[in-house]
Amino acid sequence: MSHVQIFDTTLRDGEQSPGFSMNTEEKIRMARQLAALGVDIIEAGFPIASRGDLEAVQAVAKEVRDVPIAALARARKDDILAAVEALKPAKSPRMHVFLATSDLHLQAKLHLTREQALEAIGSMIKLARNYVEEIEFSAEDAGRTEIEFLCKACRIAVESGATVLNLPDTVGYAVPEEYGAMFLKVREYLGDPEHITLSAHCHDDLGLAVANSLAAVRAGVRQIECTVNGIGERAGNAALEEIAVALAVRKDSFGVATKLNLKELYKSSRLLSEITGAVIAPNKAVVGANAFAHEAGIHQDGIIKNPLTYEIISPEAVGVPSRSLVLGKHSGRNALRQSLKELGYEASDAELAECYRRVTSLADESKNVRARDLMAIAHEVIRRKAVAVANEASSAA
């Protein structure tokens, strides 16, 4: 089965989201966990951004030896030399050089002609190859670049020494069909060379980052750039955990695999949340608090009988300790009976009915019922009845 590389940019693009900055020690902690997760490449930072970021990339490169380390650089000499310095300790370094290729970016932001852009791509990749063997080129805003010019930019990058071509949907504008078609056209133009890896980097401005990344895989892309919890600029990047599970659950459809240890997904998510202080939305796929929580009675009944009825992957498979049957106004009697058993209470049908009445009444008032609330209800309904029966028997004796 074909292998899709996971290029993790949590420490670079992810860190660029407002309020998500990490210091060197935090980057090292996260990088170690990413290595345990089994990512193929860790992009550790943007060295030209600050001396601190450069030193953080160096520190990550020294600490994490079994995963290639990448550093980002604009197609500028100073950027590349800063990245070279940052990558010196890396056992397997990768230089990630980028330049915008859309007319909008070239004209409004960079004030470059297309010819000047092509010259910069070629000369800066050649410069980088003097220091680092593995070069990735990213055509920023590729999704809004005129396709013929994008193909030319990719050809120049390959001829100059790049072995990875990243065509990002920088502003989250693409839809899956368009994004996949772009890669197919570039592959056709280049003659589909075996030594070139195509890469996808998608943002989530329209909520399509994961869908676009998966469309790219269908189009022959064999590297996906993503972040833990989907953090990143604006609405974020494609979420690593969602891509990983989608490719695992639907491997029959995609025909590819990653080398990720899925059992480390939840731990990775929680560590990042701890480091950044950013709370994960309860309904977040795979790692959210509600991802394996069930409140509706019909769902709870199905889960009790066979978890596959409402779970396409088990919580344990992604490192979540266990599923939860949440007691609320939508809950069913079977879930309530099981919850009572877990607390040590065996309820008769009549007792269950009374507990159910009280639970739904409480849920209407407080939205959900906590374990201590259920214990109080069970104690009052079941224990008191047992005491009353025992007293009655004693009196009769």
State the pLDDT at residue 213: 98
What are the start-end ranges of the E strands in the chain?
A: 2-3, 5-8, 41-45, 69-74, 93-100, 134-140, 164-166, 197-201, 223-226, 256-257, 293-294, 324-325
State the pLDDT at residue 86: 98
374, amino acid identity: L
Contact assessment for residue 44 and residue 57, using Cβ atoms and an 8 Å cutoff: yes
* pLDDT tens-place string over residues 240-283: 999 999 999 999 999 999 999 999 999 999 999 999 999 899 99
Domains and CATH numbers, the chain: 2-276 (3.20.20.70), 293-392 (no CATH)
* Tokens standing for residue 267: 């731990």
Q: Give pTM, 2 decimals.
A: 0.89
* Residue the block writes with tokens 């990512």: 39
Contact assessment for residue 276 and residue 270, using Cβ atoms and an 8 Å cutoff: no
- The sign one gets for the Cα dihedral 145, 148, 151, 155 is negative
Low-confidence spans in the chain with pLDDT less than 70: 384-397
State the pLDDT at residue 323: 87
Q: Is 287 exposed, middle or buried (0-12, 13-18, 19+ CB in 10 A)?
A: buried
State the pLDDT at residue 389: 47
State the pLDDT at residue 395: 56
In terms of DSSP H, where are the helices of 95-239? 103-104, 114-129, 147-160, 176-190, 209-218
Distance CA 293, CA 305 (A): 16
State the pLDDT at residue 385: 60
Contact assessment for residue 27 and residue 59, using Cβ atoms and an 8 Å cutoff: yes
Closest CA to 136 of 199, 91, 192: 199
State the pLDDT at residue 371: 79
150, amino acid identity: L
State the pLDDT at residue 343: 84
Those residues with Cβ within 8 angstroms of residue 48's Cβ, 6 or more apart along the chain or in another chain: 54, 73, 74, 76, 78, 79, 82, 83
Contact assessment for residue 3 and residue 257, using Cβ atoms and an 8 Å cutoff: yes
